[in-house]
Structure 1
């Protein structure tokens, strides 16, 4: 299966920096509490100097959302939402060890990180693209929605939307859960220097996944001259 950003997205957002990671063999048993605490502590240290709304990484996504016709304070990118919650509550919710690590690393680097159950995606292509309007998006409480035409979404070959408003809302259909064994992780940035931030984010996640599970993560930085990431289906866990 391939993952990529559509040319329409890259053309409209030339500042996009992105990368992807694939790992097979995770489960819900690892204890990641100490590592989550370390990464959230880094974020809290930064938040002590000012709110997330002042972070260059967040401001870049706010400008992106505004260009897409979304109110940035109504629809926040995933990393801003997590940072805001961390600032107000002092911690992040515990969901699943893979998700907890991704969320903690997301706030540490202040960029959105999406974690999807790769076996819940219909290949051969998952593409970040403008929605046609007939894609099906499943909420976490099981309802079906349809992204608005032109809304940037993660869409697979079956016409299922795995996110809404780009980095704003992940689908309940492909959310990582106890039975997840194979994950696709995507990091995206819009700020100046975003490519370096994405690279460090993916390196950090690859190291953490390898330290907590018997996996060998594969990562790649995506760019206009190398826009596609291949998930090796031969690595699928029985």
Structure 2
């Protein structure tokens, strides 16, 4: 399988930097509580000095959403939504150890992280503008069709696994207790994105290897090296 961003994405967002990881042997019994607590403390400390809307990572995504024609306070990147909830409640709901770990890392880095069940993806997965014919399954079980030119994660059968780029994933490929193999994608648009994505991928790979060995396959993506084979 291959994951990549379409050429149009690199042309429109040349500042984009991304990381991808493929992890296997996933199970819902892993204990990642210490890591979640540690990353949560990092987020708490940062939020004590400023609201998430002031973070350069979040401001960059807001500018990106504006360039896509979306109101950034109506549609937020996943990292902003998580930070906003965490600031208000000082905790996030627990869903699955892997999702909880990735959410905690997302909080600490203020960078959106998507996690997909590989077995639910048909063919390759590409971040690209939608044609408008794709189907998207909500977490409530409804079928939607993305707007033409809306940025989506699309598979080989025209199914959208995320809408509005980093805004919302699909219920189709969400991690469940039966999930065994996942693709994890982190994306950033801010000035220090290249260094921060590299650090995030290395950090997450280390924790994944400890909780769900063997070590995941990982790659850093750019316009010069846009694809990840796994």
Q: How far apart, in 2, do the equivalents of 1:50 and 1:56 lie? A: 11
The answer to whether the 8 Å contact 2:206/2:215 transfers is: no
The answer to whether the 8 Å contact 2:132/2:146 transfers is: yes
Q: How far apart, in 1, do the equivalents of 2:195 and 2:115 lie? A: 20
| CA deviations over 1:25-52 (Å, ceiling 9, x no partner) | 1111111112101101100100000100
| CA deviations over 1:104-132 (Å, ceiling 9, x no partner) | 00010000000110111001x21000000
Q: How far apart, in 1, do the equivalents of 2:149 and 2:191 lie? A: 26
Q: How far apart, in 2, do the equivalents of 1:47 and 1:70 lie? A: 25
CA apart distance, 1:225: 1.2
The answer to whether the 8 Å contact 2:17/2:193 transfers is: yes
The answer to whether the 8 Å contact 1:18/1:188 transfers is: yes
TM-score of the superposed pair, with normalisation by structure 1: 0.96
The answer to whether the 8 Å contact 1:19/1:222 transfers is: yes
Runs of 4+ in 1 over 6 A off after TM superposition: none
Equivalent in the alignment of 1:47: 47
Equivalent in the alignment of 2:21: 21
The answer to whether the 8 Å contact 1:26/1:215 transfers is: no
Equivalent in the alignment of 2:165: 166
Equivalent in the alignment of 1:71: 71
1:204 aligns with 2:193: no
Q: How far apart, in 2, do the equivalents of 1:145 and 1:165 lie? A: 13
- Map 1:113-152 onto structure 2 (within 5 A): 113-123=113-123, 125-152=124-151
CA apart distance, 1:146: 0.5
The answer to whether the 8 Å contact 2:14/2:223 transfers is: no
Q: How far apart, in 1, do the equivalents of 2:136 and 2:185 lie? A: 19
Aligned length: 230
CA apart distance, 1:215: 2.3
Q: How far apart, in 1, do the equivalents of 2:212 and 2:114 lie? A: 19
Equivalent in the alignment of 1:176: 175
TM-score of the superposed pair, with normalisation by structure 2: 0.99
CA apart distance, 1:201: 0.8
Equivalent in the alignment of 1:192: 191
Q: How far apart, in 2, do the equivalents of 1:93 and 1:195 lie? A: 30
The answer to whether the 8 Å contact 2:36/2:101 transfers is: yes
Equivalent in the alignment of 1:235: none
For structure 1, the residue ranges without an aligned partner over 5 or more in a row are 232-238
| CA deviations over 1:138-197 (Å, ceiling 9, x no partner) | 000111000000000000000000000000000000001100000100000000010111
Equivalent in the alignment of 1:12: 12
For structure 2, the residue ranges without an aligned partner over 5 or more in a row are none
